[in-house]
Amino acid sequence: MTTPESSELLGLVLASARDTDRVGAGVLDAAFEEILTYGLRRTSVDMVARRAGVSRATLYRRFDGKDTLVQAVLVRECQRFFDSIVTAIGPLPTVEERLVEGFVVGVRYARTDPLLSRLLASDPEALLPYLTVNGELVVAVARDFLVWQGDQVPGGVEPVDGRTPEGVAELFVRLAISFTLTPQSSIPLGDDEEVRRFARDYLAPLLRA
């Protein structure tokens, strides 16, 4: 359950990740490059500030420490991730088709994204808390984005047999995180067609009465 404290932190991170201010965006860009180059553990606020060309005080006015900065980077990458899915599924006419193709694109993206690949290879113990025990922010942003997208597209997700759009969306997000962190599975997911078949057989029925 979301606590008042976590809601406040979520608002802070979302505001940071969506900041269109040139300085704020530059700090996020610098943090992304530092993490991609040096990994999560070796990246520091000082390194990010130096790369961004700002003072520590300027950085701290926008991000409340390294954890918030890292979370903001992950949230922004999460938003970009779902933007790529929306681009791919936009022409599809039904929610079920969008779900299937969105899952295909999502799995492919997770397997090829340079930042995620870098962190899983070099800093899994540092990355995992942001996607597991401290993963509320990433899950919330991904879930809320999916729900918003369903509301905006004709034929969006409606409650089915008591299942809410938020609940279904969160299930998809948590399942995607699980497959990303533990790719070995008895479920064949070796290529796009196998991922598509899994989505049709297991995920699409969740949207049907």
At a CB cut-off of 8 Å and minimum separation 6, what does 117 contact?
A: 111
With left for phi above 0 and alpha for psi between -120 and 50, is residue 158 left, alpha or beta?
A: beta
The conformation of residue 184, written as its DSSP 8-state character, comes to: -
pLDDT of residue 155: 42
Region 82-98: what's the mean pLDDT?
Answer: 79
Asked if 51 and 73 touch (Cβ cutoff 8 Å), the reply is no
Q: How far apart are CA 148 and CA 203, in angstroms?
A: 19
Residue that is written with structure tokens 């401290």 in the block: 134
Region 28-52: what's the mean pLDDT?
Answer: 94
Tokens at 155, concatenated: 């034929």
φ, ψ at 157 (rounded to 5°): -65, 125
The model's pLDDT over 153-187, given as tens digits with 9 standing for 90+, comes to: 434 445 556 677 678 778 878 888 888 888 888 98
Region 63-89: what's the mean pLDDT?
Answer: 83
Lowest mean pLDDT among 28-37, 44-53, 68-77, 143-152: 143-152
pLDDT of residue 11: 54
Region 180-203: what's the mean pLDDT?
Answer: 89
CB atoms closer than 10 angstroms to residue 48: 26
> Averaging pLDDT over each range in 15-24, 26-35, 60-69, 149-158, which range is the top one?
26-35
With left for phi above 0 and alpha for psi between -120 and 50, is residue 80 left, alpha or beta?
A: alpha
